[in-house]
Chains A and B, each alone.
Chain A
Amino acid sequence: MSKILIIAEHLNGHLNPATGKCVSCATAIGGEIHVLVLGNAPDAPAAEAAKLAGVTKIISVARSENEHALAAVFAPQIVALAAGYSHLLTPSSTFGKDLLPRVAALLGVAQISDIMAVDGPYTFQRPIYAGNALVTIEAPPEQTVLGTVRTASWPGAASGSSAASIESASPEITLPSHTRFINLQQGKSDRPDLQSAAKVVSGGRALGSAENFKLIYQFADALGAGVGASRAAVDAGYVPNEMQVGQTGKIIAPELYIAIGISGAIQHLTGIKDAGTIVAINKDPEAPIFEVADFGLVGDLFKIVPELTAAVC
């Protein structure tokens, strides 16, 4: 039977919902599921992880060097604790993408990136070419399977009723000091988080300025939606990088996605393939975004968006 270790992602004392999505993927693999929480004060996220349905044990490692999630610092600790596990999983967030390949190389095994479906304990599906093709991959059963989980493909595990045991561990290893955290500039926002929001409104190059992007924020606030953007809007400086949706930004799966003044380049569409309903607003009736939109409206966003905002208020 499989024995699966999930490396928890957490920030400011809170478990990232992506960890719960890894639990769903682990449940599909089948087996015993443990969660490893590395931190300088891991108790709060460990307690949250203990409530995730399906998890039977939390391993918590408290160490001052673990204050920030540095791959070079986390990886050797994970290697020290990996013995006996058949699978190691992280979300395929920037945290997991940065960390897990470092663990894989130390263990001398391959990594499967962006697991979107599980066909068996050693057989997985993942997207390639910006999601324009999917490939079914088989990993050798005699090696530890390392995988990052494409969070948009998985529901979050239920939380609440169960309570896994929490054990602390302290692997005796010296950690490198060659990598030092300086700071994290976090966009402050009261809006729903882009990656977990049920509704997302995104704006593109057509907005023309940071000032005009307010139209998008106002509409999103009227809807209670998170806000995203195309790469062109981020590159032009209308909005910060963490709002980029797409192949090289965030892959999201909201129930409702509204693309405003976005043409629908393949790299953008990769980020929204799993959205429930896609709405496109664009003045060009030939824009490729209409090929994937459930509802399309041709027209000038500067006229349409204020009308929409008024209509949903």
Chain B
Amino acid sequence: MKILVGYKRVVDYNVRIQVQPDSSGVVTDGVKLAPNPFDEIALEEALRLREQGLANEVIVAAIGPANMQSHLRNGLAMGADRAIHVSTEQAVQPLTVARILLKLVAQEQPGLVILGKQAIDDDSSQTGQMLAALWDRPQATFASQLSIADGKATVVREVDAGLETLEVDLPAVITTDLRLNEPRFIKLPNIMKAKSKPIDTIELSSLGVESGDHLQAIRYHPPQARQKGVMVKDVAELVEALKAKGLL
């Protein structure tokens, strides 16, 4: 079984993002970029399935600009067998990403697709569900546990009410939650090895994907900042303050 993993490059989660003074976007020039944390978890899960003998090939796929080679090398150094880079200089919205991934699915015929539950830049949480719909296959989102046997996946999902377990027939789309696993660190020798692994670059325009970029961002703005409050010296003062506000 092949596993296809979404491997998006995003602004590192430690970066405090700023809105451009002219409201045209957020400042991304010179900020640290990193793999989407949920996609590292997706890749880790795929690698573990391969190590258990349940998969024989792990492919990472990223859609984005030409300068993503080193990002993809990261995924290869972590352990993916090969990478597919769908190259485009334009930002693509989730429906378009899902349509692109569907093309890759048709080409690669994976038994499992693992994506992040959300990308931490746009926080859309849509792509996996959209891909599953277009592919007409099951989805199991927000996974915190995954086991595979007899052509089926059993997935524990983190839902608002608690933990839900689903059983889905393969092929299927799984999206990862934070507690699925802890991604491994990349070892130095593997960085060397990754240099000889293949990256297949495909121009987005050559895939014949109908754009699903229907939404238009018209303005970006900073959120209303909370005012820094006051420090109280002890419990008695805190209780007084809350009583004065009618909260106790």
Cβ < 8 Å to A, chain B residues 146-177: 154, 157-169, 172, 177
User: What residues of A have a CB within 8 angstroms of the CB of B177 in the complex?
Assistant: 248
Report B48 CB to chain A, min CB distance, Å.
Answer: 18
Residue pair B231, A298 in contact (C-beta under 8 Å): yes
Residue pair A130, B132 in contact (C-beta under 8 Å): no
User: What residues of A have a CB within 8 angstroms of the CB of B124 in the complex?
Assistant: 111, 113
Closest to B216 in A: A138
Report B174 CB to chain A, min CB distance, Å.
Answer: 12
The B interface is mostly helix, strand or loop, or mixed, namely mixed
Residue pair A108, B162 in contact (C-beta under 8 Å): no
Cβ of A121 < 8 Å from any Cβ of B? no
Assembled-state Cα–Cα distance A99/B133 (Å): 10
Assembled-state Cα–Cα distance A131/B222 (Å): 9
Tell whether A241 pairs with B179 under 8 Å between CB atoms, given A71-B139, A101-B129, A134-B222: yes
Cβ of A118 < 8 Å from any Cβ of B? no
Assembled-state Cα–Cα distance A296/B222 (Å): 25
Residue pair A72, B126 in contact (C-beta under 8 Å): no
User: What residues of B have a CB within 8 angstroms of the CB of A181 in the complex?
Assistant: 164-166
User: What residues of B have a CB within 8 angstroms of the CB of A209 in the complex?
Assistant: none
Report A222 CB to chain B, min CB distance, Å.
Answer: 10
Cβ < 8 Å to A, chain B residues 186-241: 212-223, 226-236, 238-239, 241
Assembled-state Cα–Cα distance A290/B232 (Å): 11
Residue pair A133, B19 in contact (C-beta under 8 Å): yes
User: What residues of A have a CB within 8 angstroms of the CB of B128 in the complex?
Assistant: 101
User: What residues of A have a CB within 8 angstroms of the CB of B32 in the complex?
Assistant: none
Report A239 CB to chain B, min CB distance, Å.
Answer: 12
User: What residues of A have a CB within 8 angstroms of the CB of B215 in the complex?
Assistant: 110, 112, 137-139
B19, B95, B125, most chain A CB atoms within 10 A: B125
Cβ of B1 < 8 Å from any Cβ of A? no
Residue pair B229, A295 in contact (C-beta under 8 Å): yes
Report B146 CB to chain A, min CB distance, Å.
Answer: 13
Residue pair B121, A297 in contact (C-beta under 8 Å): no
Interface-located stretch among A44-52, A80-88, A272-280: A272-280
Residue pair B226, A292 in contact (C-beta under 8 Å): yes
User: What residues of B have a CB within 8 angstroms of the CB of A100 in the complex?
Assistant: 129
Residue pair B123, A111 in contact (C-beta under 8 Å): no
Tell whether A180 pairs with B168 under 8 Å between CB atoms, given A110-B94, A133-B19, A267-B13: yes
Assembled-state Cα–Cα distance A291/B227 (Å): 8
Cβ of A11 < 8 Å from any Cβ of B? yes
Cβ of B26 < 8 Å from any Cβ of A? yes
Cβ of B120 < 8 Å from any Cβ of A? yes
User: What residues of A have a CB within 8 angstroms of the CB of B51 in the complex?
Assistant: none
B-to-A contact residues, CB < 8 Å: 11, 13, 16-19, 26, 93-95, 98, 117-118, 120-134, 136-142, 144, 154, 157-169, 172, 177-179, 212-223, 226-236, 238-239, 241-242, 245, 247-248
Can you spell out 9 A-B residue pairs with CB atoms less than 8 angstroms apart? A71-B129, A72-B132, A103-B133, A108-B95, A110-B214, A113-B125, A179-B169, A182-B167, A295-B241
8 tightest Cβ-Cβ pairs between the two chains A and B: A294-B229, A101-B129, A105-B133, A105-B130, A101-B126, A182-B165, A110-B214, A186-B162
